[in-house]
Amino acid sequence: MAQLRVLSSAAARRAAGLCVLEGRSLVGQALNAGAPIRVALRADSAGAPQDEELTNELGGSGVPVVRVGAGVLRQLSGGSRPVSWLAMAALPDEPGPEQAWGDFAVVCENIEDPGNLGTILRSARALGATDVVLTDVVTDVSSRRVLDASRGAVLATRVRRFSSPCAALRALHDAGFQVVVTSPRGRGIQALASVQGRRVALVVGNETDGVSADTEAAADLAVRIPMAGSVESLNVGVATGISLYELRTRMVLAMLTDRIRGTLGREISLTGRFVRELLDEAMRDAEGLSSAQVIALMVVAAERCTPLAELHGDLGVGPAELEELLAPLRDRGWLIVADEGRASAVTLKGEQALAALWPIQEQVEEEVCADLSPEERSTLTALLRRVQNNARQALDRRQGER
Ligand X SMILES: C[S@@+](CC[C@H](N)C(=O)[O-])C[C@H]1O[C@@H](n2cnc3c(N)ncnc32)[C@H](O)[C@@H]1O
**Residue 95 binds to ligand X (criterion: CB under 6 A):** no
**Span from 206-214, 278-286, 314-322, 375-383 in contact with ligand X (CB under 6 A):** 206-214
Nearer to ligand X, 143 or 190 (CB): 190
Residue type, 287: E
Nearer to ligand X, 21 or 120 (CB): 120
User: Do 163 and 217 contact (CB within 8 A), yes or no?
Assistant: no
Q: How many residues sit in the footprint of ligand X (CB under 6 A)? A: 16
**Residue 202 binds to ligand X (criterion: CB under 6 A):** no
CA 179 to chain centre: 17
Count of H-run helices and E-run strands, the chain: 16, 14
**Residue 182 binds to ligand X (criterion: CB under 6 A):** yes
Binding mask 217-256 for ligand X (x = CB under 6 A): -------xx-x-----xx-x--x-----------------
**In DSSP terms, which residues pair with 101 in a beta bridge?**
none
In terms of residues, how long is the chain? 402
Q: Rounded to whole angstroms, how far apart are CA atoms 334 and 328?
A: 9
**Residue 204 binds to ligand X (criterion: CB under 6 A):** yes
Nearer to ligand X, 129 or 225 (CB): 225
Pairing of strands 335-338, 178-182: unpaired
Question: For residue 375, how many C-alpha atoms fall within 13 Å in the half-sphere facing its CB?
Answer: 0
Rounded (10°) CA dihedral 249, 253, 258, 263: 120
Shortest Cβ distance from residue 239 to ligand X (Å)?
3
Burial (CB < 10 A; 0-12, 13-18, 19+), residue 22, is buried
Nearer to ligand X, 234 or 275 (CB): 234
Q: Rounded to whole angstroms, how far apart are CA atoms 161 and 153?
A: 17
Q: How far from each other are the two terminal CA atoms of the chain, in whole angstroms?
A: 62
**Residue 134 binds to ligand X (criterion: CB under 6 A):** no
Shortest Cβ distance from residue 212 to ligand X (Å)?
9
User: Do 137 and 167 contact (CB within 8 A), yes or no?
Assistant: no
Nearer to ligand X, 37 or 225 (CB): 225
Shortest Cβ distance from residue 38 to ligand X (Å)?
36
**Residue 87 binds to ligand X (criterion: CB under 6 A):** no
Q: Rounded to whole angstroms, how far apart are CA atoms 37 and 255?
A: 37
Give rounded-to-5 percent helix, strand, coil for the chain: 55, 15, 30
Using DSSP, state whether 245 is helix, strand or coil.
helix
**Residue 135 binds to ligand X (criterion: CB under 6 A):** no
Among 240, 230, 360, which residue's Cα sits nearest to residue 293? Answer: 360
Among 110, 142, 150, 183, binds ligand X (CB under 6 A): 183
**Span from 144-152, 165-173, 178-186, 355-363 in contact with ligand X (CB under 6 A):** 178-186
User: Do 24 and 50 contact (CB within 8 A), yes or no?
Assistant: yes
- Residue nearest to ligand X according to CB distances in the complex: 210
**Residue 205 binds to ligand X (criterion: CB under 6 A):** yes
Among 207, 287, 314, 323, binds ligand X (CB under 6 A): 207
**Residue 210 binds to ligand X (criterion: CB under 6 A):** yes
**Span from 30-38, 132-140, 180-188, 329-337 in contact with ligand X (CB under 6 A):** 180-188
Q: Rounded to whole angstroms, how far apart are CA atoms 330 and 352?
A: 14
**Span from 6-14, 92-100, 201-209, 352-360 in contact with ligand X (CB under 6 A):** 201-209
Among 173, 184, 328, 360, binds ligand X (CB under 6 A): 184
**Residue 211 binds to ligand X (criterion: CB under 6 A):** yes
Nearer to ligand X, 70 or 238 (CB): 238
Per residue in 42-66, is it b (16+ CB within 10 Å) or e — as a string?
bbeebeeeebeebbeebeeeebebe
Shortest Cβ distance from residue 116 to ligand X (Å)?
8
Nearer to ligand X, 179 or 297 (CB): 179
Shortest Cβ distance from residue 236 to ligand X (Å)?
4
**Residue 29 binds to ligand X (criterion: CB under 6 A):** no
Q: Rounded to whole angstroms, how far apart are CA atoms 64 and 20?
A: 15
Q: Which residues bind ligand X (CB under 6 A)?
A: 182-184, 186, 204-205, 207, 210-211, 224-225, 227, 233-234, 236, 239
